[in-house]
Structure 1
Amino acid sequence: MSESAVQIIARGPRAIAEAAAAALDSDPLLEGATYSILEEDEDRGVWRIDAFPNDADDVRGIEAHLKSHDGLAVIVEKLADADWLAMSLSGLPPVRAGRFFVYGAHDEGVVPRNTVNLKIDAGAAFGTGHHGTTVGCLVAFDELLKRERFERVLDVGCGTGILAIAAAKTGSKVALGTDIDEPSVRIANENARLNLANARFVHAFGLNDRKVRGQGPYDLVFANILAPPLVSLSQDIKEALALGGVAILSGLLRTQERRVTAAYLSRGFVLERRIRRDAWSALVLRRVG
Structure 2
Amino acid sequence: MTTDAVQIIARGPRAVAEAAAEAIDADPMLEGVTYSILEEDEDRDVWRIDAFPTTEDESRDFASALAAYPALKVLVEKLADADWLAMALSGLPPVRAGRFFVYGAHDKGRAPVNAVNLRIEAGAAFGTGHHGTTVGCLQAYHDLLKAHRYERVLDVGAGTGVLAIAAARTGTPIAVGTDIDAPSVRIAAENAVLNKAKVRFLHASGLGHASVREKAPYDLVFANILAPPLVALSHDIKLALKPGGIAILSGLLRTQERRVLAAYRSKGFTLVRRIHRDAWATLVIKRN
Question: TM-score scaled to structure 2, two decimals?
Answer: 0.95
Distance 1:74 1:43, change over 3 A: same
Deviates more, 1:54-63 or 1:278-287: 54-63
1:106 and 1:5, CA in 2 relative to 1: closer, same or farther beyond 3 A? closer
CA distance in 2, matches of 1:207, 1:33: 23
| Matches of 1:81 and 1:283, distance apart in 2 | 40
**C-alpha distance in structure 2 between counterparts of 1:29 and 1:234, whole Å:** 23
- In 1, the alpha carbon distance for the partners of 2:210 and 2:220 equals 18
SS at match of 2:215: coil
The equivalent of 2:250 in structure 1 is 250
Measured after TM superposition, the shift of residue 54 of structure 1 is 4.5
How far apart are residue 104 of structure 1 and its match? 1.3
The answer for the alignment partner of 2:202 in structure 1 is 202
Shift of 1:77: 2.5
Look up the match of 1:276.
Answer: 276
In terms of mean alpha carbon deviation, does 51-60 or 110-119 score higher?
Answer: 51-60
CA–CA distance in structure 2, aligned partners of residues 73 and 67 of structure 1: 9
CA 1:121/1:33 → structure 2, altered by over 3 Å: closer, same or farther?
closer
Classify 1:31/1:91 alpha carbon distance in 2 versus 1 (closer, same or farther; 3 Å).
closer
1:137 matches 2:120: no
Q: What are the Cα deviations for residues 186-219 of structure 1, in whole angstroms up to 9, with x where unaligned?
A: 1111111111111121112221110111111100
How far, CA to CA, are the matches of 1:62 and 1:2 in structure 2?
14
Aligned twin of 2:6: 6
User: Aligned equivalents of 1:2 and 1:59: distance in 2?
Assistant: 9
1:224 aligns with 224
Cα distance between partner residues in 2 of 1:7 and 1:107:
25
Contact 2:2 2:56 in 1 (8 A): no
Matched position secondary structure for 2:82? coil
Amino acid at match of 1:203: H
Q: Shift of residue 4 of structure 1?
A: 4.0
**Corresponding position: 1:75 with 2:75:** yes
- Measured on the aligned residues, the alpha-carbon RMSD in Å equals 1.5
CA deviation vs aligned residue, 1:47-99 (integer Å, no higher than 9, x gap): 11112334444333322321222321012223344321111011211111011
Does the 8 Å CA contact 2:33/2:52 hold for their aligned counterparts? Answer: yes
Residues 183-192 or 59-68, more deviating: 59-68
How many Å apart are 1:14 and its aligned residue?
1.1
Bigger mean CA deviation after superposition, 214-223 or 59-68: 59-68
Mean CA deviation greater in 50-59 or 147-156: 50-59
Secondary structure in 1 matching 2:175: strand
1:1-289 aligned at under 5 Å gives the runs 1-288=1-288
**8 Å contact from structure 1 (residues 85, 122) kept in 2:** no
CA deviation string 1:239-281 (max 9, x = no partner): 1111111110111111111111111111111011110101111
Q: Which amino acid aligns with 1:42?
A: E
Q: Compute the displacement of 1:6 (Å).
A: 2.9
Seen in structure 2, the aligned counterparts of structure 1 residues 61 and 2 have a Cα distance that, compared at 3 Å, is: closer
d(CA) in 2 for partners of 1:273 and 1:148?
16
What is the alpha-carbon distance in structure 1 between the residues aligned to residue 194 and residue 36 of structure 2?
Answer: 28
* Number of aligned residue pairs: 288
Aligned residue for 1:214, secondary structure, equals helix
Q: Matched residues in 1 for 2:38 and 2:102: separation?
A: 20
Retained in 2: the 8 A contact 1:90–1:122? no
Distance of aligned partners of 1:256 and 1:68 in 2 relative to their CA distance in 1, 3 Å threshold: same
Maintained 8 Å contact 1:161/1:177: yes
Decide which moves more: 149-158 or 118-127: 118-127
Structure 1 letter corresponding to 2:262: A
Stretch deviating more after TM superposition (265-274 or 120-129) = 120-129
Displacement, 1:132? Answer: 0.5
Residue 129 (structure 1) shift: 0.5
| Paired residue secondary structure (2:114) | coil
% identity of equivalent residues: 72
> 2:2 and 2:80 mapped to 1: Cα distance?
8
CA distance in 2, matches of 1:170, 1:155: 15
> In 2, distance between residues paired with 1:101 and 1:54?
30
* 1:171-194 CA-partner distances (Å, limit 9, x unpaired): 111011111111111111111111
Stretches of structure 2 lacking an aligned partner (at least 5 in a row): none
| Structure 2 letter corresponding to 1:32 | G
